[in-house]
Amino acid sequence: MKTKFTTLTVLITFLIFGSQSAFGQVIFSDDFESGTSQWILEGQWGLTSSESHSPSNSLTESPSGNYNNNWEFSATMASDVDLSGALGADVKFWAKYDIEVGLEFDNMYLEATKDGTTWTQLARFEGEGVPWTQFSYQLDGFLGNSNVKLRFRFYSDQGYRVDGMYIDDFEISTSDADTVQPLIVHDAPQFYEGSFSSHNVVATITDISSIQSAEVHYMVDSGTVQIISPSSIVGDVYTFTIPPADHGSQIDYQIFATDTLNNTTQNPPTHSFISGEYLFYDNPVVSYLNRVNANRGVAVRITPTAGNERLVYALIRNYTDINNPNDDFEFHVWADDNGTPGADLITPFIVTPEANLQVTSPMTRIDLRAYGEQLSNITSDYFIGFTVPSGTTNITQHSPVTANRSFAWNGSAWNSVNYDYHFRAVMSDQNALPVELTSFTVSNKGSSVQLEWNTATEINNYGFEVERASLAGNWSNIGFVQGYGNSNAPKSYSFTDNPNNGTKFLYRLKQIDTDGQFEYSDIVEVEITPTEFVLEQNFPNPFNPTTKISYTLPERSSVSIKVYDAIGNEIAELANGEKEAGVYEVEFIAENLPTGIYFYHFNSGKFSQTKKMMLLK
């Protein structure tokens, strides 16, 4: 149905306003009561008096009634707005709309540009019966630019047609205070497409006040949330490397960023991919809906790329709308029988399509890891697909055919079809061999710990996560060391840790293959023996509003740490009591304090020292 695919995901805060905008100075406004001179209009865009938020006109893509098939027309601001001196900006407007639901079908887009050529999507609108609502979107990613324009772009396919969108009381405002979160632009995975080994998440992150930090939070199969920092930063482009996971695992992740004024990402979108070798042959653009009726079937031929693989996941793209409900289907994996589906490789089972009226054409996910024995050692073509026991199951397809891999069952025979079904497979390579670890030692170097280990051979070695625990056994990931991948020669590795809050620690290595399989080393114990009192400089410094202070005790001591302002007033007490020998860390939070110089004083009876730190808000 659709002739264009949008893959850009932009993180923008969206508010349905019940209160006044925090942005003050209006630099562009249009209530559409004085014509359309502030806009460049394409196609049928124009004014109507049949609907309006404030009397008596609004802007719409189809003033004469329902929109038509195969439209793609824009309404673009005729003049630029200057955001070069602003610290905050937003656009807000009122809208009412009836637009066919579905990413692949009819959509209204709100887009912005700072060069007149490259347009960034701020919002996408779909849905029927949406009443007059005020929308607001931050323009933080366009601050510092003097040639900013916005446009509404409407797209329709060749099917269902309704009334479209009405737009009224449009305005852009600026502020002299930065109170908005950083802008994150990320090209997210489409339809769960992942990686065979590690997965790089690349995002462009910008903010008028500069970026202080960024991180990715991810989960594997809805497990514990893991947090990773960027593996590289080049200008505004941040790359985060999610380690390999067991093939067939679903990884869900979110991107967070904080600017130097501590404006932090709130409720970012969740993106997902499935680990493994992702195989597909279709053009992902939807051309038509295909209704598969009772006692009929559909299949797509899959070709393994390695000599010995295991099928771990299948994806079937279903579709629904109010006129096309779905019934359950019976999923199959068939052997190849002279180019068409043959004998079942597993016992077929019933699957409920994931499509609903909110998400009309998603991939239905089918986890096949439980069928490891039957779906292992695949060396030749096979088919994935389904039959319909009763009712109708809807799928999407693309035409004309590009792969010649799709087949339909008519009740008595399989026949090749001249279009492509949107079916995908995820596979795992079974040829990977484990890494041979020959030694793993840990030694103390004063208040630090040196870890060293050696391997004899390596095949598909992604690397090693280094984990530390107290004697209570609470393990945490403290670092990662990249592996050599494949090697027949001995290799040596090392890692330095600076633990705190104790003297005895446990360490282990988590060796990870490129296919996500992993194995733990033996556990080793070390005792730190500090030889002198040490008070470290706080980090970070300057800070806002939190910083950490580390100190070392060579013996059991009574410890006091106090914070003073520049004229000697005591602000906070961070430590007061007996501590065993070891390395420790305390945190100072200055949320309610003004910018300025502060001092922290350490006293243990035998050792006393004062250091300076700066709070910069």
- Note the pLDDT tens digit of each residue in 103-122: 567 899 999 999 999 999 99
- Can you tell me the mean pLDDT for 90-94? 97
In this predicted structure, the answer to whether residue 433 has a pLDDT above a threshold of 70 is no
> What's the CA gap between 542 and 244, in Å, rounded?
36
In this predicted structure, the answer to whether residue 150 has a pLDDT above a threshold of 90 is yes
Q: Which residues pair with 549 in a beta bridge?
A: 586
Span 269-299, pLDDT tens digits: 999 999 999 999 999 988 889 999 999 999 9
Structure tokens at 151: 């446009």
Q: Which of 320-324, 399-403, 446-450 has the lowest mean pLDDT?
A: 446-450
Residue 586, amino acid: V
In this predicted structure, the answer to whether residue 225 has a pLDDT above a threshold of 60 is yes
Q: Which of 68-72, 75-79, 311-315, 385-389 has the lowest mean pLDDT?
A: 68-72
Please name which of 597, 548, 555, 595 lies closest in space to residue 575, comparing C-alpha atoms.
548
Cβ neighbour number for residue 248 with a 10 Å cutoff: 23
Q: Which of 11-15, 197-201, 541-545, 563-567 has the lowest mean pLDDT?
A: 11-15
Binning pLDDT at 50, 70 and 90, where does residue 202 land?
A: very high
Structure tokens at 495: 């890692």
Residue 499, amino acid: P
> What's the CA gap between 428 and 372, in Å, rounded?
10
Binning pLDDT at 50, 70 and 90, where does residue 432 land?
A: low
- Can you tell me the mean pLDDT for 457-462? 82
Q: Which residues pair with 26 in a beta bridge?
A: 173
> What's the CA gap between 373 and 363, in Å, rounded?
25
Report pTM: 0.65
- Three-state DSSP class for 433? coil
Beta-strand (E) ranges in 318-389? 329-337, 340-344, 349-351, 363-367, 382-387
| Per-residue model confidence (pLDDT) at position 16 | 33
- Three-state DSSP class for 426? strand
Side-chain half-sphere CA neighbours of 303 within 13 A: 7
| Per-residue model confidence (pLDDT) at position 102 | 61
- Can you tell me the mean pLDDT for 446-459? 85
Query: Which residue bears the tokens 């330095």?
Result: 496
Phi, psi at 141, each rounded to 5°: -70, -5
> What's the CA gap between 245 and 130, in Å, rounded?
41
Residue 230, amino acid: P
Binning pLDDT at 50, 70 and 90, where does residue 521 land?
A: very high
Q: Which residues neighbour 199 within 8 Å (Cβ) at sequence distance 6 or greater?
A: 241, 242, 251, 273, 275
> What's the CA gap between 557 and 607, in Å, rounded?
10
> What's the CA gap between 580 and 375, in Å, rounded?
57
For the chain, give the number of residues.
Answer: 617
In the 8-state DSSP scheme, what is residue 27? E
Please name which of 188, 157, 96 lies closest in space to residue 360, comparing C-alpha atoms.
157
In this predicted structure, the answer to whether residue 17 has a pLDDT above a threshold of 60 is no
> What's the CA gap between 246 and 275, in Å, rounded?
7
> What's the CA gap between 31 and 36, in Å, rounded?
10
In the 8-state DSSP scheme, what is residue 148? B
Return the percentage of the chain with pLDDT > 90, whole number: 68
Residue 522, amino acid: D
Binning pLDDT at 50, 70 and 90, where does residue 472 land?
A: low
In this predicted structure, the answer to whether residue 538 has a pLDDT above a threshold of 60 is yes
Give CB contacts under 8 A, 24+ apart, made by 230-238.
Answer: 231/200, 236/204, 236/205, 236/206, 236/211, 237/202, 237/203, 237/204, 238/202, 238/203, 238/204, 238/205, 238/214
Residue 616, amino acid: L
Please name which of 258, 268, 284, 514 lies closest in space to residue 396, comparing C-alpha atoms.
284
CA distances from 607 to 247, 532, 551, 561 (A): 55, 10, 11, 12
In this predicted structure, the answer to whether residue 580 has a pLDDT above a threshold of 90 is no
Question: HEC states along 243-298?
Answer: CCCCCCCEEEEEEEEEECCCCECCCCCCEEEECCEEECCCCCCCCEEEEEECCCEE
> What's the CA gap between 377 and 431, in Å, rounded?
10
Q: Is 464:478 a contact under the CB 8 Å cutoff?
A: no
Q: What is the four-CA torsion angle of 53, 57, 59, 63, rounded to 10 degrees?
A: 120
